[in-house]
Amino acid sequence: MKSFMLQLARLSTRGRKIWQAKVNSTGQIYVHDRVSEYRNMWKNAAEKVGAKFTALADSVWELELNGKTTRILNDKLEFDDPVALEIAGMKPLVYQLFAQQGLCVPEHHVFQLQDWNRAAEFLKRHPKGCVVKPANGTSSGQGVTTHVQTEREVKAASILASLYCSEILIEPMIPGECYRLLVLDGEMIHAVRRKGPGLTGDGVSTVAHLLSLENERRSSRGECLLDIDRDCLFTLGYQGLSLESTPACGQIFLVKSVNDPRRKQVEVRTVYNETATGLVCDALKKNAESAAKILKSRLVGVDFITPDPTVSLEKSGGVINEVNTTPGLHHHYDSTVERFPEPALRILESLFNR
């Protein structure tokens, strides 16, 4: 009976996901929605290096320079072999390979939907919350649920993740912001972060009051308000703050790290919005380069969560939590003021000289 009810709940979740995709009720923009942007990006980069740009199909382009050619399929480039690409999507295996070489990865547990109660046991050791996600082969936050704190939520998150993969991963929430370090041919060439919204203390007002004032300003400008949700409380907590705290005058603090999907009914996606190349320390750069070497990947985005990118993961308590062998270059520039991402020229140089 329990198995039947579980499958019934899974069927209901699948139906909801199909409906969301059909009507785009989440409002999410994925990389496959960015064909026009990527076409312009690569056309502009080709023009910069003097390469000929030819559209072979709507999302397939060929670039030629000095008799050498390379083809691009939207966000996909001619770098890694199918084995490296497949392995990079196997999160538990990637964690294992990294840990064997001394890289910091999250504590985690792999399970299947019928064994979701084992994940609930894992949750008991991490009362501040966990992340539940598909263990293999997904991207763009598909099937990911953050800030899971109850058995009921573990079950719901497991059902969602199971739509994408039979193996499911649970790991604790890690304090900090998300950083992506882009590694090309063994060298880190660019870094970005998802900069969460922050506030500045005045030495008098509580965090709750500062949030209220900020939301008044946002409301007057027609902007999204800052929810006081689990992500807000978690983010404040790892900075030693609460809603009742009174930050010092001039103290800058974060109020969000990621969105809370139970409030918005969408999976978590990390959208990087700020260049951070000059912020990350040599230790993180070396970690990213080591990760690329372990994966045998020529181009990879190595994702970190850390509260302080200026110190090692061992010191900050941060981790490497993801790798992307088809890293979206739209994260690495501002299309409103730049014609192409800074790393694009280095990437083309490597492609034409491979």
Looking up tokens 């050619």 gives 69
Q: Summarize the confidence of residues 56-69 as an average pLDDT.
A: 97
Distance set, CA 216 to CA 83, 185, 226, 241 (Å) = 51, 48, 10, 22
* Percent of the chain with pLDDT strictly greater than 70: 90
Contact 326, 297 (CB under 8 A): no
Average pLDDT over residues 177-187: 97
More confident residue, 271 or 87: 87
Residue 56 per-residue DSSP state: E
Residues 51-65: what's their mean pLDDT? Answer: 97
Q: Is the pLDDT of residue 335 over 90?
A: no
CB 272 within 8 A of CB 191: no
pLDDT grade, residue 336 (50/70/90)? confident
Does residue 13 have a pLDDT over 80?
A: no
Q: Please report how many Cα atoms fall inside a 13 Å half-sphere around the Cα of residue 187, on the Cβ side.
A: 6
The domains of the chain are located at 198-256
Contact indicator for 85, 326 with CB cutoff of 8 Å: yes
The confidence score (pLDDT) of residue 22 equals: 56
Residue 84 — φ and ψ, nearest 5°? Answer: -60, -40
Sign of CA dihedral 289, 292, 293, 298: negative
Average pLDDT, the chain: 90
Q: 41-50, 77-86, 261-270, 321-330: which range is least confident on average?
A: 261-270
Residue 24 pLDDT > 60: no
Burial class (CB in 10 A: 0-12, 13-18, 19+), 101: exposed
Q: Which pLDDT belongs to residue 257?
A: 85
Alpha-carbon gap, residue 246 to 204, rounded angstroms: 6
Is 63 a residue whose pLDDT tops 80?
yes
User: What local confidence, expressed as pLDDT, does residue 4 receive?
Assistant: 65
Confidence (pTM): 0.88
Q: CB–CB of 135/91 below 8 Å? A: yes
The contacts of residue 16 (CB under 8 Å, 6+ apart) are none
| Burial 75-91, CB ≥16 within 10 A → b, else e | bbbebbeeebbebbbeb
pLDDT tens digits, residue range 230-284? 999 999 999 999 999 999 999 999 999 875 444 544 445 566 788 999 999 999 9
Which residue is listed with tokens 């020229």?
345
What is the predicted pLDDT for the residue at 266?
A: 45
Please check whether residue 37 is in contact with residue 339, taking contact to mean a CB–CB distance below 8 angstroms.
Answer: no
- Per-residue confidence (pLDDT) for residue 136, from 0 to 100: 93
Please give the full DSSP string across 131-181, using - where no structure is assigned.
Answer: EEEESBS--TTTT-EEEE-SHHHHHHHHHHHHTT-SEEEEEE---SEEEEE
The pLDDT-based confidence of 166 (bands split at 50, 70, 90) is very high
Confidence of residue 137 (pLDDT cuts 50, 70, 90): confident
Q: Residue 267: what pLDDT? A: 45
Q: Name the burial class of residue 245, with classes exposed (0-12), middle (13-18) and buried (19+) by CB atoms within 10 angstroms of its CB.
A: middle
Q: Quick one: pLDDT band at residue 354, thresholds 50, 70, 90?
A: confident
